[in-house]
Structure 1
Amino acid sequence: MGSTTVTGANNETITLTYQSADNTALAQQLAAQINNAVAGGNVLPVDYNGSPLPPAPPNQTLEVVDKASGPLALPSDATAVVNVATDAVITGSGAPDAQVLSGNGNMRFATNGGSGTVVTGDGNNFIVQQGLGGWNIHTGAGDDTVVANYGPNTVAAGGGTNDIKLLGGSNLVYSTGTDAILAAAGSTTVDAGSGSNIDHVLGVNASITFIGGTGPATVTGAEGSVTEFGGAGGGEFRGGAAGSNFIEGGSGATTIFGG
């Protein structure tokens, strides 16, 4: 377990904890960016307790510290949000390169366009990527849902039981939990790594590349195509109807069906 600190309103120091080393390192990177921007006078930290937020001063943007459970629509001049609420429902500002840090509470976050990075703790989170901008989404050990509509996205949904839906664009998924992954369109690479438990990957009209890990996997190409490199976990792999399938079994027990 690791932690990071970020500057809040009135020089408050906010501490967030994360189970995984990767999430800790990424959260520390985002916190350093926010802290430097606050120290340089480019970002103003403000608390959200349910009352309307103030506008950003000239030549500044806002870091919003969400302390109130329930809905929050970020204003267009907000470029960073730090969630410490128990059950947050946040709509993004649509800003480019946005920074979103969340602790161990539950968070529902819709990007509302824009681009940026989301790092959460071990709550149960629901993240929706909207628009064409790319997002880097890292969640913790809770049971998470991530929906990516388009854009080049990276998703690492942590060690829980996760539901990942990829509706288009070019996506990279690091699977370390028990994950159900739907790739509806576009191209998707799934790296199951050494920490994955069970993966179920379904491609509809997508091109899928799957790199197997230590857990068993089921990969179905449907109307798309599949490139698969099996791992120690083995599994069942079905090529897609679009053809151009390449399936290589790993060291685990593997069943292969052509497209």
Structure 2
Amino acid sequence: MKFAVIGGTGLIGSQVVKNLNAAGHEAVPHSQSTGTDVISGLGLDEAVAGADVLVNLTNSPTFDEASAAFFQTSMDNLLAAGRKGGIRHFVILSIVGVDQVPELDYYRAKALQEDILTAGPIPYSIVRATQFMEFIDAILAWTADSDTVRLPATPIQPIAAKDVADAVAEVAAGAPLGGIRNIAGPEIFALDELGRFTLSHKSDTRTVVTDPTAGMFAAVKGDVLTDKNAHLAPTHYADWLS
């Protein structure tokens, strides 16, 4: 099969392209660097021409209220190009629990992206992943100073980007789900405890202070960003750190 992977040069997209090509398919990466723009629509018709499957791994450049406009416009343009090009399967990557955190602009925007896809005319699959292990350092940095890192005790279930890419490639190569597949790492941590574990591993002497008001994840109520019944990925956080 032929795959058009939009956002195919990024962290997940580049690995999805590699996996699909290694499996004997033809996967072509597309991004702004290759002349494809999901907002203006530039190059989209050419990108999807002749493809069987469209995988959209683009992301909003911001996490604020402007992200909704990004996903609305990009999905409208991709669906139009997909219809014109005869795409038979449209895949997106989303977030476990995305519809359970309406307080966050970015999560509302990702939920909108899902809604646009499910209401569209192309058979689809949604892969929802938990928080990437690769983003933990950034999460710690949001509320850090020279002495402390302030984190809520929000439960998260971190997953390695490689495992996310494996799951996306597997779903893309299969029949459309017409629904959602949740994927997650094998372990659940409280975010503050994960912060302590991470800093200890890096011999970072800063102190993690549990603060239910600190950072983006303070808006998360309850245990909605984890899923014990998800397809569990093999990589453990300690192994990934090592």
For the pair shown, which has the larger CA radius of gyration, 1 or 2? 1
Instruction: Between the two structures, name the one with larger relative contact order (CA 8 Å, sep ≥ 6).
Output: 2
TM-score, normalising length: structure 1 = 0.28
User: TM-score, structure 2 length as denominator?
Assistant: 0.29
If each structure's helix is expressed as a fraction of its own residues, which one has the higher value?
Answer: 2
